[in-house]
Amino acid sequence: MFAIDYPHCFKTMSETSLLSLLCPARLFLIYGIISSLNLHCSSGEVELSFQLNGADVNVAKERWRRSPNNPPEQIDCTLSSWSSWSMCDPCQKKRYRFSRVEQPSQFGGDRCDYADKETEDCVASRPCRNTVRCEGFVCETGRCIHRRLLCNGDNDCGDQSDEKNCKKVFKRCSQPIEQYWGIQMLASGLNIFTNHLEGLVLDHKYYAGACSPQNIAGTNFRKPFNVESYLAETKGTYEFTSTEYESYSSFEHSVDSAKSKQESFSVGLKIPGVFHFGYSQDDTRYKRFVQRTKRFSSTSSKFIHARSDLEIAQYKLKKQNPMLHYEFFQRVLQLPLEYSYGEYRELFRDYGTHYITEATLGGIYEFTLIMNSDALQKAGYSLSDVRSCTQAGLNLGANIEGVYVSLGISGGACNALLKEIGDNTSEKKFVEDFIALVRGGASEYIATLAAKELPTPELMQKWGDAVQYNPEIIQMKVEPLYELVTSATFANANTLKQNMRRALEEFQQESSSCRCTPCQGNGRPFLKEGTQEEGDNPLIGNIWHWKGRLRSSCSST
C-alpha cells in the first residue's frame, strides 16, 4: 500500500497515508440517485471505515471550503524535472525518461502544454529475449495461432496475415452470423479515473475457428472465443422507482452519499463487486443536467427523482488466457523491461487501467422533477402526493382519467399536476423543471424521451425495443489491465506485470484531484484534460478526466 502526501486534501494530514487509496474519488459516478462507486478524498462531513493491516480505521474529517467572496489567485501548472535516462532496452533499442505534474494549474493559470516523456535510440549491451515459443503459425502481428486456422475466411491474426496466399478458403460458417449487441464496447479498456472506455484490449472478433450460432430474438449470433457467456434477457419492465426530497440540500446529500460499499482494496486497484457505469464529466447529457439542476441550488424547490432500468443481456468473459487485441498486444511488447513510468503511463492513457470481466447491458431512463414549494403548499399538496401521482401517471399514462381517484388525492390537483408534467406548452404553476437523462437505444427515441415530459408507455416501449439493438453498459465487474499479462502470451510476463502494477499506483497519484486547492462555492475539484483541475457542483462530486497529454489546470464552476 502506498501513501500520497497532498496537503490540500484534509485539515490535518496524519490520516493522509491511510486515505491514499481512497483519494481518486468516484470511479464510476452517475449523476443522480444511481448507485455508484464513491471513494472519497473528502466530501463534506465524511466518515470512512476500512481495514489496514488488520486494524480497523475510522476517520471523519470535513472538507476544506473556500468562501465565494474570496477570489483565488491563479495557479500555474508546474512540472517535475526530467527523470534520469533508463538503461538501453535490449528489445526496443531505446532508452526513456519522463516528467510528472507537480502542480496542476487552477483558476485560469497557465497549463503545461509540453511532452511528458522522451525516447532516444541507443545500443544495447544485452540480448533481447521477449518471444514465446510458438508451435503453430506466427502472425505478422506477433500473435501465435493454430495452423488449422489458416485460410478459413476469418481474420484470426487481426491483420489478415493468416489469409494471405490462400489457394482455397475453407469457411467454417456457411451462413452470415451477426456479432453480439454491444460486444466491442466490452472489449475496450476502462480508465477508472476518467470513467472512459479507451482502446480495444481484447479481440472479440477472434473465434478460434468455432462456428456455433446462438439464436436471440430470431437472429443468429456467433460466439467469440473470449466470451464465456452472453445471455439475452428482458428483466426491465415499464416500472419506475422514485425518491422524494424536500430540499436541494437533501437531494445533494443523497446523491453525494450514494456509493457502493467496499470491503477492501489491494495494491494495484483490484476492485471487488459490481459497479454501475455512468456518465463521464464531458458527456453533453451530464453537462445539461448539471447546468439545469444547479439553477435551483439556492431556492426552496422540492425534488423527485425516478428511474427505470431495462436489462437486455448478461456478459461474462472467459477466465483463462483470453485473446488480446493485436494492437494492445504489440503495445505491451514495446514496453521497456526496466521500469520507466512514462511509457507505462502512456499505455494506461491509451488503453485504460482495467478491463471488463462481467457486465450488464441495457438502457436507463431517469428524470428529476423540480417542484415549486410555495405553489404546492398553497394548493395543500404534499411532496408525497406529487410522487404518488407522478408514479401512477408514468405507469398508467398521464392522460388516463381517474388516476387520481385510486390515489385518494384531490382529482383537480392531481389532474393539474399531470397536465403540467405532460404538456410542454401549458403555463407552469407547480412544475419548475423536468430533467430527463436517457442511456441506450436509438438516437431518435433518446432525443424524444429527453425532451418530452412524462413519457407515454408507447414511447417507452419503442425506446425499449431500440435498446435491444443499441445497448449501453449499465454495470460491470473489472480487473486491472496487468492481469491480462500472462506467461502464455509474454516471455517476460512477471517483469511486465510488476511494472504495470507499480505504474498503476503512480498513475493513481498523478490523477488525483487531491492536489488541488479548495474550489469556490464548496465545489469539488476534478482533473480535466490531463492536468487541468476544475471545481464541480457538490451535487455531482468528483469525476476526473485525463485527455490529451499534458494540459493542466484547476478551476471552479
In a domain, 46, yes or no: no
Same domain for 425 and 524, yes or no, is yes
Distance CA 281, CA 528 (A): 9
In a domain, 386, yes or no: yes
Same domain for 212 and 291, yes or no, is yes
Same domain for 220 and 117, yes or no, is no
Distance CA 200, CA 330 (A): 12
Same domain for 341 and 490, yes or no, is yes
In a domain, 101, yes or no: yes
In a domain, 512, yes or no: yes
Residue labelled with grid coordinates 439493438: 469
Same domain for 460 and 515, yes or no, is yes
Q: What is the DSSP letter of 137?
A: E
Q: How far is CA 43 from each of CA 11, 253, 524, 545, rounded to the nearest angstrom?
A: 13, 10, 8, 19
Residue 411: give the domain boundaries: 172-530
Q: Contacts by 36-41 with C-beta closer than 8 Å and gap 24+?
A: 36/258, 36/259, 36/260, 36/275, 36/276, 36/278, 37/259, 37/260, 37/262, 37/271, 37/275, 37/276, 38/256, 38/257, 38/258, 38/259, 38/260, 38/541, 39/262, 41/9, 41/512, 41/513, 41/514, 41/542
Cα dihedral 410/412/415/417 (nearest 10): -80
Q: Which residues, in sequence order, are bridge partners of residue 188?
A: 200
Same domain for 410 and 519, yes or no, is yes
In a domain, 13, yes or no: no
Length of the chain as a residue count: 557
Label the pairing between strands 137-138 and 144-145: antiparallel
Same domain for 122 and 182, yes or no, is no
Same domain for 109 and 245, yes or no, is no
Please give the chain's pLDDT, 557 residues, in tens.
333 333 333 333 333 333 333 333 333 333 332 333 334 443 333 333 333 333 333 333 444 455 555 667 787 787 777 888 888 988 888 988 888 877 777 777 777 777 788 888 998 888 888 888 898 999 999 999 999 999 999 999 999 999 999 999 988 887 878 999 999 999 999 998 888 899 999 999 999 999 888 988 888 999 999 999 999 886 656 677 778 788 877 776 666 555 333 333 333 455 555 556 655 555 666 667 667 777 777 788 888 888 888 899 999 999 999 999 999 999 999 999 999 999 999 999 999 999 999 999 999 888 888 888 888 888 777 888 887 777 766 654 433 333 333 444 445 556 777 777 656 656 777 888 888 888 888 877 777 777 766 777 778 888 888 898 899 999 999 999 999 999 999 999 999 999 999 999 999 888 777 777 766 655 555 555 444 444 444 343 332 222 233 333 444 44
Q: Which of 276, 256, 336 is nearest to 475 (CA)?
A: 276
pLDDT given for residue 180 in this prediction:
94
61 phi and psi angles, rounded to 5 deg: -140, 155
pLDDT given for residue 519 in this prediction:
65
Q: Which of 251, 307, 302 is nearest to 278 (CA)?
A: 307
Label the pairing between strands 196-200 and 188-191: antiparallel
Q: Which residues, in sequence order, are bridge partners of residue 477?
A: 358
Domain at 115, CATH number? 2.20.100
Q: Which of 72, 76, 112, 45 is nearest to 556 (CA)?
A: 72
First to last CA, the chain: 34
Same domain for 309 and 403, yes or no, is yes
pLDDT given for residue 117 in this prediction:
87
* Tally of domains within the chain: 2
Residue labelled with grid coordinates 525518461: 97
In a domain, 57, yes or no: no
Residues 322-353 pLDDT 10s: 999 999 999 999 999 999 999 999 999 999 99
Q: How far is CA 304 from each of CA 9, 291, 383, 406, 485, rounded to the nearest angstrom?
A: 33, 17, 8, 21, 47
Concatenate the DSSP letters of all residues of 282-294 into one string.
Answer: T-HHHHHHHHHHH
pLDDT given for residue 272 in this prediction:
54
Contact yes or no for 200/326 (Cβ under 8 A): no
Same domain for 341 and 483, yes or no, is yes
pLDDT given for residue 280 in this prediction:
58
Q: Which of 23, 32, 29, 27 is nearest to 4 (CA)?
A: 23
Cα dihedral 476/477/482/488 (nearest 10): -110
In a domain, 32, yes or no: no
Distance CA 449, CA 364 (A): 11
Element (H, E) at 378: helix 373-378
pLDDT given for residue 347 in this prediction:
96
Same domain for 308 and 419, yes or no, is yes
pLDDT given for residue 200 in this prediction:
98
Same domain for 118 and 251, yes or no, is no
In a domain, 158, yes or no: no
Distance CA 22, CA 41 (A): 6
